[in-house]
Amino acid sequence: MTRARRLVSTTLIWLIPAVVPSIELRAQARDERAVRAVVDAFFAAVAREQWDSAVAFIDLPRFEPSLKQRIAWVRSTLPATPVTAEQLMASDSTMPRVVAEWEAMRSNKFRSERAFDDYSSQFAGVTSQQMLFSLSLRDAAARWLAARDPRVQIRDARRRAGCPLSDVVAPWPSPPSTLLAIAFQDDSTAYVIQSADPVPGDALFPNERVLPVRRTQAGWRIEARQDILSPVTVHFSSDCGRK
């Protein structure tokens, strides 16, 4: 090997350790921008309640197994029989009959608010098994996503309570979300830490969540977890403002 070649080889040996981390840092910065763009676009579509657009950023292949499990469970269920005071007293021998009757009445009233095959609390607008079974994967994911939005939940509660349609409006805008940090587990998995306010002004509710985002053939996509739109599960009911 000539002296010139030895000098080049020596220089490369010294440069490689410095160049490789620089390339890795640039790649991670590029991935971080891509992940941030996907998360921002997703929540922008959610804010506008454009569920078909929002679901484009969901990892549908990961969502599909849970959907199939849910449909299989639905196919195996039968309508529940009314709860009776005798059943409650049999399960708790200390319960007075008057209390058992009240609990049975309350339980049966709650059940009567939804038909047996009304799945709108899980898939927005789906009120029969036939509708659920006919959904495509993308449509099911969009309806699943919508059902987790507090605005949709409140409107649904007001409709079921018989409130005037003119009163069925969103009581507050989409909860604001702030991206706090992005951490990479590897080159195909990122975790986005977000701050959200599911119930504005209520400090009792946690306001941070972690969203797994994974690289797929279609690009970076968000995992469809139960807390994707809210760090906590909140159930709503309505009496239409009646006193």
CATH of the domain at 54: 3.10.450
Whether the per-residue pLDDT at 163 is higher than 50: the answer is yes
Task: Write the CB contacts of 207 (distance below 8 Å, at least 6 apart in sequence).
Answer: 195, 196, 197, 198, 231
Amino acid at 185: Q
Could you tell me the pTM of the whole model? 0.69
pLDDT(18) > 70: no
pLDDT band at 20 (very low <50, low <70, confident <90, very high): very low
Domain span at residue 123 reads 15-79+116-222
Which pLDDT value is given to residue 15? 45
Tokens of 37: 């763009």
Position 11 pLDDT exceeds 70: no
* 234, part of any domain: no
> How many domains, in total, are found in the chain?
1
- Is 31 a member of any domain? yes
Assess if residue 95 is contained within a domain: no
The answer on pLDDT for 198 being more than 60 is no
Evaluate if residue 200 carries a pLDDT over 60: no
Longest dimension (CA), the chain: 102
Residue 142 lies in a domain: yes
**48-77: average pLDDT:** 92
The whole-number pLDDT of residue 130 equals: 86
pLDDT (tens digit, 9 = 90+) per residue, 72-107?
988 887 566 777 878 888 888 888 888 888 888 887
**pLDDT category, 8, cuts 50, 70, 90?**
very low
CA distance 27 to 8: 27
pLDDT(12) > 50:
no
In a domain, 8, yes or no: no
Question: Tens digits of per-residue pLDDT, 120-136?
Answer: 889 999 988 889 999 99
The answer to whether 115 and 93 are in contact (CB under 8 A) is no
Q: Is residue 237 over pLDDT 60?
A: no
As a whole number, mean pLDDT of residues 36-58 equals: 94
